[in-house]
Amino acid sequence: MIAANNPRLKTWIEVPENSDFPIQNIPFGIIKPAGKEPRPATRIGDTVIDLSTLTDFGYFDELDIDNYGVFLAPVLNDFMALGAPIWSAVRNRLSELFNIDNTELQNNEGAMANCLCGINDVEMMLPVEVGDYTDFYSSIEHATNVGIMFRDPENALLPNWKHIPVGYHGRSSSIVVSGTEIHRPMGQTKGDDMKAPSFGPSRLVDFELETAFITGKSSKLGEHVSIEETDDYIFGMVLFNDLSARDIQKWEYVPLGPFLSKSFGSVISPWIVTMEALQPFMVEGPKQEPAVLPYLEFTGKKNIDINLEVSLSPEDGDDTIICNSNFKFMYWNMNQQLAHHTINGCNINIGDMYGSGTISGPTPDSYGSMLELSWKGTKPIKLSDGSERKFIQDNDTITMRGHAQNSNYRIGFGECVTKILPAK
């Protein structure tokens, strides 16, 4: 067992009941304390721990890291570049420092005052500089629902779907951190009954409930990352709201796929939960039938049991939970996605991000987009204030939450929050 995952570990930091961040999590993020530069941090309960000051006080000295500057950087890319053994060593060292029996830090008042502060005293920043962003389409329920709505209910999945983890190259410049407000996009749309397209604010803004993984290791152009090697490349995961303008998408996507309908803002949760922390929650995925080609064959459990939830709140209104899904439903796993991504020799870089695709489950309350929940606008969703939604309205806030839970503890992601503002 990974030392930091020991369910018996207790911490001297207060952890509220059902916190996403027990001592067994130790995620990585970038905080900006008031009046200071952004720097790497972790979180236990509602306390954030500044890794740059822990370094200053010498708490990482024994780790023998080549470049301690990584703990002063405004993004985690250089830290990830140190490699998987160092990610693991730092997480284990943090687990040790905050163990209830360890007095190294808790008895050092000067260090305590500098290294720890409340989550509400910092601003959360984008944790990595995202180089390239790829979005997959790996939920069989989502792909089937979209196929039924837009094509042919008898042949909802296209012939390639069960053979290829379908994906497209997205836009990284508009990936932003939770809490960033996004304006409704302007664009071209054309209704079926219209002769020519018109221009104006999108009327069908939607969320897509996704997770994303981030690579912490690069590969060379021309190389493949074999499926056995993929675990070494994946640093961790975040929640991901891949905002979509369905009316713009419908008009523009032929024949090359989505373009401006997906690039007006894509929002991630601020804490990267490591693959090590998620390791106790690995489960079998759905049976893949027909058998996949050999380069996509994998061994072991590669899906993860992560409960996912989406809520919507109107301006000054209460939250209504509109979707409960789970990452374990994904047909294609992250290892297959990465092996497929590099099979043509495409190189990947540290900080690249890969969206899972909308994560829909088998039941109508588990669909991961408004498009599916309201079935193309034919079944409006009731909110707790009595109002109805087919798609997202101006000043609505979408909140995604996710956590894995066993009888010992919960490993969570916190929140991914997005407010949609009127078009500019």
Catalytic site residues? 142
Residue closer to Ca ion, measured from CB, 86 or 371: 371
Contacts of residue 41, Cβ cutoff 8 Å, sequence gap at least 6: 28, 29, 30, 31, 48, 49, 50, 51, 122
Structure tokens, 114: 């500098």
**Residue 326 C-beta: closest distance to Ca ion, Å:** 17
Contacts of residue 107, Cβ cutoff 8 Å, sequence gap at least 6: none
Residue closer to Ca ion, measured from CB, 242 or 309: 242
CA-to-CA distance for 215 and 230, rounded, in angstroms? 9
**Residue 156 C-beta: closest distance to Ca ion, Å:** 18
What character string, x for contact with Ca ion (CB under 5 A) and - otherwise, covers 231-260? -----------x------------------
Residue closer to Ca ion, measured from CB, 42 or 134: 134
**Residue 135 C-beta: closest distance to Ca ion, Å:** 5
Q: What is the DSSP letter of 128?
A: S
Residue closer to Ca ion, measured from CB, 313 or 369: 369
Q: Tell me which residue has its CB nearest to Ca ion.
A: 242
**Residue 279 C-beta: closest distance to Ca ion, Å:** 26
Contacts of residue 264, Cβ cutoff 8 Å, sequence gap at least 6: 174, 182, 183, 185, 243, 245
Count of residues near Ca ion by CB under 5 A: 3
Residue 143: helix, strand or coil by DSSP? helix
**Residue 134 C-beta: closest distance to Ca ion, Å:** 10
- Give the one residue of 50, 78, 135, 352 binding Ca ion; rule: CB under 5 A: 135
Residue closer to Ca ion, measured from CB, 137 or 235: 137
Q: What sign has the CA pseudo-torsion 197, 201, 204, 208?
A: positive
Contacts of residue 77, Cβ cutoff 8 Å, sequence gap at least 6: 128, 129, 350, 351
206 part of the interface to Ca ion, by CB under 5 A? no
Q: What is the DSSP letter of 136?
A: E
Q: What is the residue type of 219?
A: S
Contacts to Ca ion from residues 256-285, by CB under 5 A: none
Structure tokens, 151: 């094509």
Q: For Ca ion, which stretch binds (CB under 5 A), given 119-127, 203-211, 280-288, 297-305?
A: 203-211
Residue closer to Ca ion, measured from CB, 23 or 239: 239
**Residue 368 C-beta: closest distance to Ca ion, Å:** 9
The percent helix, strand, coil of the chain (3-state, each to 5) is 25, 30, 50
141 part of the interface to Ca ion, by CB under 5 A? no
CA dihedral 11, 16, 18, 21 (to 10 degrees): -50
Closest CA to 305 of 330, 273, 269: 330
**Residue 324 C-beta: closest distance to Ca ion, Å:** 19
Q: For Ca ion, which stretch binds (CB under 5 A), given 16-24, 208-216, 272-280, 339-347?
A: 208-216
Residue closer to Ca ion, measured from CB, 270 or 368: 368
Structure tokens, 124: 């959360």
208 part of the interface to Ca ion, by CB under 5 A? yes
Residue 198: helix, strand or coil by DSSP? strand
Q: What is the residue type of 57?
A: F
Burial class of residue 118, CB neighbours in 10 A (0-12, 13-18, 19+): exposed
Q: For Ca ion, which stretch binds (CB under 5 A), given 130-138, 175-183, 227-235, 323-331?
A: 130-138
**Residue 357 C-beta: closest distance to Ca ion, Å:** 5
What character string, x for contact with Ca ion (CB under 5 A) and - otherwise, covers 39-78? ----------------------------------------
Residue closer to Ca ion, measured from CB, 120 or 160: 160
Closest CA to 185 of 209, 210, 204: 204
Contacts of residue 397, Cβ cutoff 8 Å, sequence gap at least 6: 312, 313, 315, 417, 418, 419, 420
- Which residues in this chain contact Ca ion in the complex, by CB under 5 A? 135, 208, 242
